[in-house]
Chains A and B, each alone.
Chain A
Amino acid sequence: MISIQKLNKSFGSKKVLNDINIEFVKGKVYGIVGQNGAGKSTLFNIISGLESFNGIIQSDLTPLKNHLGFLQTNPFFFPKITGREYLQLHLNARNIKEINIDESNIFDLPLNQYAQSYSTGMKKKLALTAVLIQQSDIYILDEPYNGVDIHSNMIITEIIQKLKSIGKTVLISSHIFSTLKDTCDEIHLLHEGHFKKSVDHSEFDLLEQEMIEFTTGSIIDRLNLK
């Protein structure tokens, strides 16, 4: 369980997160949605311990970071390191020895090629595989569907459902609302640094409709498309 209370974060004079209060419990999948710059990635970085903050983050898992698997929006890759070595690095980091890398390669990635030569989607899949083989209790997946093909999209959805079924907690951000509807128990709308709305499964359609109206409104008409 992760409990976040009165969390605030500023970059200089710009307030990015403002009085965030939320709880993430075991065995549930949480979707975080919001526009670019709403503070989703900053929130994930803070929960992970990669960013400083004001407020309280508590967990029954200590230290929390050693129980987290974190997929970043744009994963970083070292030059001249193969996919296999990238996965090995993640296993070594957590002293995990019993994982067979080839068996874990569910996306059929060319593991003996340099990871930097991978396409955007392949990089995302490699980074996701690395996070999954670390066998964490909580997964933070920042835009896991970004750039991946439709088959991998389905596999990722299956993975999230499997993680939920085995009692893991998953936090996802995605700009594709349908993927969140398929996987989440709750969706939280982050707007200008605070949670504007939080809904459970029964209200997903309503939230989606509200977001469409709020986001698009009459903007498209301004293009005067003919």
Chain B
Amino acid sequence: MMNRQLKEMGLHPLFGFFIGLIALIGGTILIYSKTNYAPWIIASVGLVIVLRASEYNRSIHLKSIFDRKTFREIRLIENLVLITPFLIILIFKSELLVFVATLLISIVLSWYESKQSFHFTIPTPFSRKPFEFTTGFRKTILMLAGIYLLFITAIFVGNFNLGIFCLIALFIALLSYYSWPEDKLFVWIHSDNAANFIKHKIKTAFTFSSVLAFPIIATLLFIKPSQYFVILTFTVIGLLALITMVIAKYAAFPNKMNIAQGLIFAIGIVLPPLLLGVIPYFYTQAKSNLKELLR
């Protein structure tokens, strides 16, 4: 599965795993340099990944193929394989207690199966215009809550930079709403032509992201009016990045963004003035891509 996902991204699986390893080592060094809770954070990340293997439909599928004993063995092996990189880090850092706890929890989790019977619908202010912000808001609700909580903390401790960090984090969360392509039919059903379709998508992204970002921007401007240039600069870059993401998604449609497109997008974000060239480039690609579906 992971191999297939890496191939779809245009990466050789070995290269993908190599990047993953680098990210893990880099992330570990970074976390250890920033906080004393590093071992617990590393263990939590590992356990969240392990928990994903307990997904309901996946368990049902495995159970339908294998007998109960084999199913349990597979789940145990899967959990141990997934947690091993994190256990290696913990043992390397001599965090014996966290190591044992993480190992035991991942073993116990091999008996856990997430249930699907719980029907709770998270309310969203974006119901009238599905789907990106509707689904994205629900998927990232905890992350958004965390960002707003951190922002409130930033205000109380008077940390302007932390406030700006929250604004950046919010836009990064919003970018994820456009990270995967929808089924072709959901473009096809629109009666707009390609140009109007893209325009409409940009308008929705712009409006809804402004709704979510407004409390942060307005509070920062109220508290630190002298820093208006910094606040507005990050807001404009965030909005431009989001617009670029929307267009880039349809430039790659119906596939996910490939490595080359991802790189162009990343360069545009790192050097924002380049977005003025990146946006028209992706827009031309997107329009030509959607021309057949939206005649």
Taking Cβ atoms with an 8 Å cutoff, the residues of A that contact B are: 48-50, 52, 63, 65-66, 70, 72, 75-76, 78-82, 84-86, 88-90, 92-95, 110, 112-114, 117, 134
In the bound complex, residues from chain A placing their C-beta under 8 Å from that of B40 are none
Stretch with Cβ within 8 A of A (4 or more), from B22-30, B69-77, B91-99, B180-188: B180-188
Do B189 and A90 touch (CB < 8 A)?
yes
Stretch at the interface among B123-131, B142-150, B269-277: B123-131
Please tell me which one of the listed residues B182, B189, B293, B295 contacts residue A78 in the complex, with CB atoms under 8 A apart.
Answer: B182
Query: Do residues A94 and B119 form an inter-chain contact, with CB atoms below 8 A?
Result: no
Question: A66, B191: Cβ atoms under 8 Å?
Answer: yes
A102 nearest CB across to chain B (Å):
14
User: Are B119 and A114 neighbours in the complex by a CB distance under 8 Å?
Assistant: yes
Contact of A114 with B185 at beta-carbon distance under 8 Å, contacts A80-B139, A81-B135, A84-B127 already known: no
Q: How far is the CB of B228 from chain A (nearest CB, A)?
A: 36
CB distance from A140 to the nearest CB of B (A): 12
Ordered nearest first, which 8 A-B pairs have the shortest CB separation?
Answer: A76-B183, A80-B138, A89-B130, A93-B189, A85-B130, A93-B190, A66-B191, A80-B135
Q: CB within 8 A of A94: which of B138, B183, B185, B191?
A: B191
Range, interface on chain B: 20 to 34
B residues whose Cβ falls under 8 Å from a Cβ of A: 116, 119, 121-122, 127-131, 134-135, 138-139, 182-186, 188-191, 292-293, 295
- Is the CB–CB distance between A114 and B121 below 8 Å? yes
Report the Cα distance A134→B183, complex, angstroms.
Answer: 18
**A117 x B131 contact (CB < 8 A):** no
Contact B127 A85 (CB under 8 A): yes
> Closest Cβ of chain A: how far from B187's Cβ, in Å?
9
A18 to chain B, nearest CB (A): 23
In the complex, which residue of chain B has the Cβ closest to the Cβ of A80? Answer: B138
Question: B127 near A88 (CB under 8 angstroms)?
Answer: yes
Asked whether B189 lies within 8 Å of A81 as measured between CB atoms, the reply is no
CA distance A96 to B135 in the complex (A): 22
Whether A50 pairs with B185 at a CB distance below 8 angstroms is: yes
Question: A90 CA to B190 CA in the complex, in Å?
Answer: 8
A residues in contact with B121, CB < 8 Å: 82, 112-114
Most buried by A among B182, B185, B293: B185
CB–CB B131/A78 < 8 A: yes
Is A113 a contact of B183 with CB atoms below 8 Å?
no
Instruction: Give the chain A neighbours of B138 by CB distance below 8 A.
Output: 80
Nearest chain A residue, comparing its CB with the CB of B117: A117
Chain A neighbourhood of B185, CB < 8 A: 50, 70, 72, 75-76
Cβ contacts A to B, 6 pairs, < 8 Å: A49-B295, A66-B191, A76-B185, A85-B134, A86-B130, A94-B191
